[in-house]
Amino acid sequence: METLGSVSTLRSRRIILFPLPFQGHINPMLQLANILHTRGFKITIIHAEYNSPNPSNYPHFAFKPIKDRFSEIADQLATNRDGTYFARYLNKSCVDSFIDCLAELLAEPGEERVACVITDACFYFTQAVADDLKLPRIVLRTSGLGCTLACDALPFCSKKACFYLTKQDSDYEASVPEFPLLKFKDITNITINPQGMGDLTSNILNQMRASSGIIWNTFKELEESDLETLSQDFQVPSFTLGPFHKYFPASGSSLIEQDRTILSWLDKQPPKSVVYVSFGSVAHITKSEFQEVAHGLANMGLPFLWVVRPGMVVGSEWLEALPEKFLERMGERGRIVKWSPQQEVLAHPATGCFWTHNGWNSTLESICEGVPMICSPCLADQPINARYVSDVWKIGVLLEDGFERVGIKMAIKRVMMDKEGEEMRERVSSLKEKSVNVWQIQWHVTKLQKQWSCGAFGDYM
Ligand code: UDX
């Protein structure tokens, strides 16, 4: 883990942070909070009751839970494929309690001035609240720059049929004119509700433009040209402070207990031999897709570590849908766990590749450990991240035909055994070398601090 020097200036400034209550959003927000804490800021986390972080892992922060009414819809998480629904719901259900909580915090007597509120970009309603209170709002965008550019360009609200194409349509494999890196088959995976996605993304992007600045969990060398494109359209300052996890691990904010017993199993495997498989915290797959994954792993003959999150397989509690005798045949060659210490697994010398859903955190974590990827994007930004991995950075193979055992076997061979895979490993190792730049992150945080201290974001009292 890299260390950031701490500073003693601005100790009287407090920052209030508000994460979206999902694993892939809580992790980076708490990591960012830690980074800012080491630079002298006091930290208050306002958080939804749903997926509440564990305050005892962060005794140096103050936590303020707010009512979110998420329990009224939480049982739909496994069945409702429209991911935008949950984010749009939270932008309504949290409004009153967030306003009350923020106003209360600002009225608290004490010497500390609140420098700003940092909220997840998906909590777009918070811009109007911050404006009313004359408090600067900085946005944390937890996905990559490429995702933001793509979401800005794609015609979600146009009612075009392009989001509903199937394999039988002649355009299915063609590039999307508005964002040629993506194929039509990629954008059909982003959402089942283009109109809802359009509403969500236009709200997010408009309120990012209205904010006082945007913090990105990325690093300059990875997305340099996108950063330039973006700065023409987003006139507010951008701060590339990532990759956050290289400074603070995500283990403290893990919502599921990480199974650490697998680390000693990894110790026994040859270098770069293990295929690590995980599809993140929200994606669901069908029973038949799950069985194709199992056959793919069984067929390839390499050691594997597979994270099967309880409830991930639609209609199953956990492993019931595995093919007959799978566990018996797997023996010591494989391990299946409910949740892993992912950053440690990716950093382990035995890990050879990461078969991932390409959530932004997973993608970044893999790059930062120099691990090439096999990409099985499921929804939202994942199909966009997967195209960057396979077609722009050329550090992984995209399973173009989804979960299908023959394609899986070929993809694993390409990454783990072929010359092509070696070249991917070289490219991702080179990105790994560039990923940690303590000087750069300190420069960005200092820039943020200067803007606060000279009142460039407004000077809230
Ligand atoms: C969600 C969206 O799916 C994704 O597209 C968006 O970019 C962020 O929110 P999620 O499924 O949570 O992502 O994936 P990801 O962004 O990769 O975050 C998962 C986090 O959980 C990572 O930090 C990873 O290290 C951690 N994790 C994952 C574990 O600690 N253990 C595991 O077994 C799997």
Q: What is the pLDDT of residues 149-195, one digit of tens each?
A: 999 999 998 877 788 899 999 999 999 999 999 999 999 999 999 99
| 360 in contact with ligand 1, CB cutoff 6 A | yes
Report the separation in Å between the CA atom of 26 and the middle of ligand 1, taken as the mean of its atom positions: 10
Report the separation in Å between the CA atom of 358 and the middle of ligand 1, taken as the mean of its atom positions: 8
- Quote the pLDDT of residue 437: 78
Mean pLDDT of 368-392: 98
- Quote the pLDDT of residue 8: 47
Percent of the chain with pLDDT over 90: 85
The pairing of strands 179-183 and 213-216 is unpaired
- Quote the pLDDT of residue 158: 83
**Using CA positions, which residue lies closest to atom 9 of ligand 1?**
24
pTM: 0.95
| 44 in contact with ligand 1, CB cutoff 6 A | no
Q: Is 47 a catalytic residue?
A: no
Closest CA to 118 of 213, 201, 22, 16: 16
Determine the Cα–Cα distance for residues 217 and 300; give it in Å rounded to an integer: 35
Residue 91 pLDDT greater than 70, yes or no: yes
| 148 in contact with ligand 1, CB cutoff 6 A | no
- Quote the pLDDT of residue 458: 47
Which atom of ligand 1 is closest in space to residue 23's alpha carbon?
Answer: 12
Residue 455 pLDDT greater than 70, yes or no: no
Report the separation in Å between the CA atom of 104 and the middle of ligand 1, taken as the mean of its atom positions: 33
| 307 in contact with ligand 1, CB cutoff 6 A | yes
Confidence of residue 444 (pLDDT cuts 50, 70, 90): confident
Confidence of residue 110 (pLDDT cuts 50, 70, 90): confident
**Using CA positions, which residue lies closest to atom 26 of ligand 1?**
342
Report the separation in Å between the CA atom of 368 and the middle of ligand 1, taken as the mean of its atom positions: 15
- Quote the pLDDT of residue 457: 56
Instruction: Judge residue 170's burial from the number of C-beta atoms within 10 Å of its C-beta, 0-12 exposed, 13-18 middle, 19 or more buried.
Output: exposed
- Give me the catalytic one of 68, 120, 186, 381: 120
Mean pLDDT of 449-460: 60
Q: Is 25 a catalytic residue?
A: yes
Note the ipTM here: 0.98
Q: CB under 8 Å to 162, separation ≥6 — which residues?
A: 155, 171, 176, 184, 187
- Identity (one letter) of the amino acid at 261? T
Question: Which of 225-229, 234-238, 257-261, 443-447 shows the lowest mean pLDDT across its residues?
Answer: 443-447
Q: CB under 8 Å to 386, separation ≥6 — which residues?
A: 186, 358, 375, 376, 377, 396, 398
Judge contact between 304 and 275, C-beta under 8 A: yes
Q: CA quadruple 436, 440, 443, 445: dihedral positive or negative? A: negative
H or E stretch covering 32 = helix 23-38
Which atom of ligand 1 is closest in space to residue 254's alpha carbon?
Answer: 30
Confidence of residue 386 (pLDDT cuts 50, 70, 90): very high
Percent of the chain with pLDDT over 70: 95
Residue 459 pLDDT greater than 70, yes or no: no
Dihedral over alpha carbons 163, 167, 173, 176 (to 10 degrees): -10
- Over the stretch 303-343, which tens digit does the pLDDT of each residue have? 999 999 999 999 999 999 999 999 999 999 999 999 999 99
Q: Which residue from 266, 342, 348 has its CB within 8 A of the most atoms of ligand 1, so it is best to mutate?
A: 342
| 254 in contact with ligand 1, CB cutoff 6 A | yes
Report the separation in Å between the CA atom of 361 and the middle of ligand 1, taken as the mean of its atom positions: 6
Confidence of residue 460 (pLDDT cuts 50, 70, 90): very low
Which backbone phi and psi does 14 adopt, to 5 degrees?
Answer: -115, 140
